[in-house]
C-alpha cells in the first residue's frame, strides 16, 4: 500500500485543492479570506504560500462579484474554484448561479460553458446561527444546469472535489461543516477521482433503505448500527454523494430489494430534496413498495437559535423510529 494518511474532511479537501492547482495552471481559487489566511474553515490553508496570490485570490466582500467573476473566468477558459464562506450567503449569488452560470451553455448553444466550482460549508450542528447553518441544496437541485455534490467523508471529499473541478459543467460543492474535523479516514496521497453522479451503498441490507447525504450520513450510519444491534433489522444505507445528476439506478435497485425507504436530510421538509426522492421511488418502484416512503427532516422554520438547535435537527432516534415504522407498516 502506498501512503495512506488518516485525514479529516478538511485535510482531504485541502489536498484536493493543492493537487488541482498543481495539475492545471487554469485552476484558480478565489473567495473571502481564502488566501493569506487560509479561509474561515482553513480549507485553503497553505495554498497561498505555495501558489501565490495570482492563483489563490483574496477577494473583496462581494459574493455575487465572486461568483460572477468566476463565470467570466470560466467562460474565458479558466477553472475557477470559488469559496462562499457559509452556504447561507449563497442567496447573494442566486442571480449569478441560477440565471448566469447554469445557463451559459444553454444560451450559447454549447459554444460557451462555465466549468467552475463553488464550494460552500453547510449544515448545522456547530452552534452557528441561522444563515450560517442552513441546508439550501434544494434551491439548486431545482436549477437545471448546475450540478450539486455533497460528500460525507474524507475519501469522497477529496475524490469528488477533484472530479468537480474537472467537470465541464458548473458544480456546487457542499461541505458538511460539522464533519470537517469530526473523524478521520484513510485517504490516498495521489489525486484520485470519485465520479460524480454515483451514489454509494455504504452498508448492504435487506429490510429498509436509508438514504442520506452530507452531514445526515453521520446519523444515518449511527441509526443503522442501532437497528442492527437492538432490533435485528438489516438496513441498506445509501449515501447519494451527488444530488444532481442523481443516481436513480442505485436508489431504485436498493428499494426494489428492501421494499422500504426512509430519506433523511437536515433541510426544511417542504419542497426538500427528500420529496423528489420519494416521488422518484413511487414512479420507478411503486409495485415493490410495502410502506410509504418516509422523510426525516428539519422543520419548516428558519434555522433556530443555538439553544434549540439540537431539538430542531434530525437525530439518530428519529431515523430509527422512521425505519421501524416503515418496517412495521
Partner 1 sequence: MTQTTTPQLVETDVRLRLFERMVILRRFEKRVYDLFLQGFVKGTSHLSIGQEAIAAGFGEAMRSDDWTFATYRGHAHTLSRGVDMAPVMAELMGRAGGLMAGKGGSMHLTSVEHGMMGSYAIVGAHLPIAVGAAFSAKYRKSGQVAVCFFGDGTTNIGAFHEALNFAAVYRLPVVFVCENNLYMEYTAIHDVTAVEHPAADRAAAYGLERIIVDGNDVSEMYRIAQARLTRARDGYGPSLIEALTYRHNGHSRADPGKYRPDAEVAAWMERDPIPAYRERLEREGVTTQALDAIEERVSIAVDRATESAKASPPPPAEAAYRDVWSDGGWQWRS
Q: Which residues bind partner 1 (CB under 8 A)?
A: 28, 54, 57, 59-60, 62, 64-65, 67-78, 80, 95-96, 99-100, 104-113, 144-145, 167-169, 197-198, 242, 244-249
Cell numbers representing residue 129 in the block: 446561527
Q: How many helices (H) and strands (E) does the chain have?
A: 12, 14
Q: What's the closest the beta carbon of residue 192 comes to partner 1, in angstroms?
A: 19
Cell numbers representing residue 315 in the block: 437525530
Closer CB to partner 1, 188 or 197, in the complex = 197
| Rg of the chain taking only CA atoms, in angstroms | 19
CA distance 62 to 73: 16
Q: Which helix (H) or strand (E) holds 182?
A: none
Residue 289 near residue 282, CB atoms below 8 Å = yes
Closer CB to partner 1, 49 or 95, in the complex = 95
Owner of C-alpha cell 473583496: 60
CA distance 236 to 85: 34
Closer CB to partner 1, 245 or 302, in the complex = 245
Q: What's the closest the beta carbon of residue 233 comes to partner 1, in angstroms?
A: 28
Owner of C-alpha cell 420529496: 275
Closer CB to partner 1, 196 or 219, in the complex = 196
CA distances from residue 54 to 35, 69, 162, 178 in whole angstroms, order as listed: 10, 14, 20, 31
Find out whether the peptide bond into 245 is cis, omega within 30 degrees of 0: yes
Closer CB to partner 1, 249 or 310, in the complex = 249
Q: What's the closest the beta carbon of residue 46 comes to partner 1, in angstroms?
A: 21
Of 79, 119, 132, 147, the catalytic one is 132
Q: What's the closest the beta carbon of residue 37 comes to partner 1, in angstroms?
A: 17
In DSSP terms, 238 is beta-bridged to: 201, 211
132 is catalytic: yes
Q: What's the closest the beta carbon of residue 291 comes to partner 1, in angstroms?
A: 25
Catalytic sites, residue numbers: 132
Amino acid at each position: 500500500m502506498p501512503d495512506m494518511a488518516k485525514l479529516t474532511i478538511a485535510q482531504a479537501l485541502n489536498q484536493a485543492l493543492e493537487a488541482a492547482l498543481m495539475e492545471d495552471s487554469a485552476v484558480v481559487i478565489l473567495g473571502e479570506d481564502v488566501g493569506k489566511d487560509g479561509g474561515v474553515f482553513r480549507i485553503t490553508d497553505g495554498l497561498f504560500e505555495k501558489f501565490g496570490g495570482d492563483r489563490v485570490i483574496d477577494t473583496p466582500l462581494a459574493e455575487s462579484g465572486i461568483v460572477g467573476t468566476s463565470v467570466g473566468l470560466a467562460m474565458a477558459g479558466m477553472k475557477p474554484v470559488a469559496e462562499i464562506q457559509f452556504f447561507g450567503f449563497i442567496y447573494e449569488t442566486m442571480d449569478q448561479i441560477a440565471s448566469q452560470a447554469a445557463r451559459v451553455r444553454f444560451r450559447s448553444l454549447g459554444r460557451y460553458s462555465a466549468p467552475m466550482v463553488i464550494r460552500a460549508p453547510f449544515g448545522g450542528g456547530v452552534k452557528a446561527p441561522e444563515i450560517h447553518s442552513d441546508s439550501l441544496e434544494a434551491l439548486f437541485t431545482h436549477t437545471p444546469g448546475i450540478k450539486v455534490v455533497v460528500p460525507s467523508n474524507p475519501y469522497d471529499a477529496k475524490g469528488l472535489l477533484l472530479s468537480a473541478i474537472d467537470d465541464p459543467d458548473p458544480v456546487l460543492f457542499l461541505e458538511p461543516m460539522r464533519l470537517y474535523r469530526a473523524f478521520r479516514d484513510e485517504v490516498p496521497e495521489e489525486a484520485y477521482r470519485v465520479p460524480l453522479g454515483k451514489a454509494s451503498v455504504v452498508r448492504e441490507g435487506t429490510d429498509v433503505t436509508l438514504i442520506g447525504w452530507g452531514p445526515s450520513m453521520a446519523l444515518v450510519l449511527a441509526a443503522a448500527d442501532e437497528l442492527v444491534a437492538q432490533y435485528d433489522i438489516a438496513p441498506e444505507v445509501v449515501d447519494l454523494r451527488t444530488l444532481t445528476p442523481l443516481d436513480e439506478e442505485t436508489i431504485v435497485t436498493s428499494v426494489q430489494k428492501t421494499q422500504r425507504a426512509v430519506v433523511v436530510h437536515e433541510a426544511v421538509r417542504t419542497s426538500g430534496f427528500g420529496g423528489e426522492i420519494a416521488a422518484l421511488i413511487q414512479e420507478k418502484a411503486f409495485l415493490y413498495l410495502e410502506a410509504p416512503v418516509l422523510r426525516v427532516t428539519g422543520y419548516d422554520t428558519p434555522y433556530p437559535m443555538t439553544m434549540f438547535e439540537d431539538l430542531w435537527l434530525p437525530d439518530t432516534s428519529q431515523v430509527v423510529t422512521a425505519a421501524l415504522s416503515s418496517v412495521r407498516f
